[in-house]
Structure 1
Amino acid sequence: MLAVFEKAIGNPPEELQLPSVGLDCKKTREEISEMLRLLWPKSTFYHLSNGNLMTLSHEAQSPLHQRSMFVTDDIFCIFMGTLVNICELRRHYGSSRQATEAMLLVDAYKALRDRAPYPPDQVIKDLQGKFAFILFDAKSSTLFVARDGEGSVELKWGMAGDGSLVLSDDPDTIQMTCGKSSASFPPGCIFTNGNGLVSIDHPLHKVKAIAREDEDGNICGVMFQVDLFTRLPSIPRTGSAANWADVAAAAEAD
Structure 2
Amino acid sequence: MLAVFEQSIGKPPPELSIPQAGKQKKEAKTREDIAESFKSWKQDSTFYHLSNGNFMAFSHDNENPTQPRSIVVMDDIFCIFSGRLDNTFDLRKHYGLSRQATEAMIMVEAYKVLRDRAPYPPDQVIKELEGKFAFILFDSKASTLFIARDRDGSVPLHWGTATDGSLVCSDDSEFIQTSCGKFYTPFPPGCIFISDTGLISFDHPMHKVKAIAREDDDGNVNGVIFQVDLYTKLHSIPRRGSASNWAGATTVE
- When normalised by structure 2's length, the TM-score is 0.89
**Residue 66 of structure 1, CA deviation:** 0.7
Give the whole-Å Cα distance in 1 for the aligned partners of 2:242 and 2:210: 21
What does residue 101 of structure 2 align with? 99
What does residue 248 of structure 2 align with? none
Q: Which runs of 4+ in 1 moved over 6 A?
A: none
Of 57, 60, 64, the match for 2:59: 57
107-116 vs 84-93, which moves further = 107-116
- Greater per-residue helix proportion: 1
- The answer on whether the counterparts of 2:2 and 2:168 sit within 8 Å (CA) in structure 1 is yes
- The answer on whether the counterparts of 2:2 and 2:56 sit within 8 Å (CA) in structure 1 is yes
The AA in structure 2 aligned to 1:127 is L
Query: What is the CA deviation profile of residues 163-184 of structure 1, one whole-angstrom value per residue up to 9, with x for unaligned ones?
Result: 0000000001110111111111
What does residue 120 of structure 2 align with? 118
Counterpart secondary structure, 1:71: strand
- When normalised by structure 1's length, the TM-score is 0.89
Query: What is the CA deviation profile of residues 131-173 of structure 1, one whole-angstrom value per residue up to 9, with x for unaligned ones?
Result: 0001100000011100111111011000111100000000011
What does residue 39 of structure 1 align with? 41
Counterparts of 1:1-12 in structure 2, within 5 Å, are: 1-12=1-12
What does residue 82 of structure 2 align with? 80
Query: What is the CA deviation profile of residues 10-69 of structure 1, one whole-angstrom value per residue up to 9, with x for unaligned ones?
Result: 000000111259x87111111111211222221011001111110011000111111100
Q: Please say if 1:17 is aligned against 2:42.
A: no
Unaligned residue ranges in structure 1 (runs of 5+): 244-254
What does residue 192 of structure 2 align with? 190
- The answer on whether the counterparts of 2:138 and 2:144 sit within 8 Å (CA) in structure 1 is yes
**Residue 215 of structure 1, CA deviation:** 2.9
> Percent identity over the alignment?
63
Counterparts of 1:1-254 in structure 2, within 5 Å, are: 1-19=1-19, 25-119=27-121, 122-234=124-236, 240=241
- The answer on whether the counterparts of 1:113 and 1:119 sit within 8 Å (CA) in structure 2 is no
How many pairs were matched up?
A: 241
**Residue 119 of structure 1, CA deviation:** 4.6
Structure 2 vs 1, CA of residues 38 and 130 (structure 1 numbering), >3 Å: closer, same or farther?
Answer: same
The Cα RMSD (Å) is 2.1
Unaligned residue ranges in structure 2 (runs of 5+): 245-253
**Residue 216 of structure 1, CA deviation:** 2.0
Give the whole-Å Cα distance in 2 for the aligned partners of 1:42 and 1:171: 18
Give the whole-Å Cα distance in 1 for the aligned partners of 2:87 and 2:20: 41
Structure 2 vs 1, CA of residues 177 and 238 (structure 1 numbering), >3 Å: closer, same or farther?
Answer: closer
